[in-house]
Amino acid sequence: MTGRLFALSAFLVALVGSPAIATATDYHHVHLVAPSRADAKEWYMTHMGCTDYGRPDACQIGSTYIIFFEREPTGPSVGSGVDHIGFSFEDLDAKMASFEAAGIKILNPVREISGLFKLAFIEDPWGTKIEVVEDHEWLGFHHIHLRSPDPAVALSWYWDMFGGERDQLKGRISGLRYGTVWLLIAQHEGELAPTEGRAFDHL
């Protein structure tokens, strides 16, 4: 877990017996950082499909809440233990056209991965990297992608601590599933910055 700092209470889990047989409910929330929580909330509602549920500092997508700390982020999500978050849309080409029209920063254009789905990368105005995909099986808030020197060990740690369903995204990528949200972990060599204070503050 070197180089990462997470507030792990963000997982809403229901434990049954020992952690080895733990199960998990839906993924509860993530905490992002922006100088104006009102602007951040509006951006995610306008562009990511989130809805208002009555809190000035948060919005909702499916059963997951996106909550905003109001301060200047100390750095982007990239380079920390959380590389990016993912959202899935019915028509990615149309969505990308709307992003371009709105002047949203495009990191990587749409490409199709055989056996997986169409995907692209954008960045929100405050430094959170977002993977946008066209996965009709899992629409909405799609995944959180971590980085670790040893993904298998890290994934086992999360499963031992917080349950979830061990699964493979499209039969190809090992992860944990919390309802409709995937927790994925990619290989990373070298140091990772703590997430606290950055654009993606914690899980």
DSSP string, 68-116: EEES--SS-STTBSEEEEEEE-S-HHHHHHHHHHTTPEEEEEEEE-TTS
CB-based burial, 82-118: b 16+ in 10 Å, e otherwise: bbbbbbbbeebeebbeebeeeebeeeeebeeeeeebb
Class of domain 8-202: alpha beta
What is the pTM for the complete model shown? 0.89
Instruction: Break the chain into its structural domains and give their ranges.
Output: 8-202
Q: Which residue, chain included where needed, has tokens 């080895």? A: 20
pLDDT in tens, the chain (203 residues): 433 334 443 344 333 333 333 445 789 999 999 999 999 999 999 999 999 999 999 999 999 999 999 999 999 999 999 999 999 999 999 999 999 999 999 999 999 999 999 999 999 999 999 999 999 999 999 999 999 999 999 999 999 998 999 999 999 999 999 999 999 999 998 899 999 999 999 99
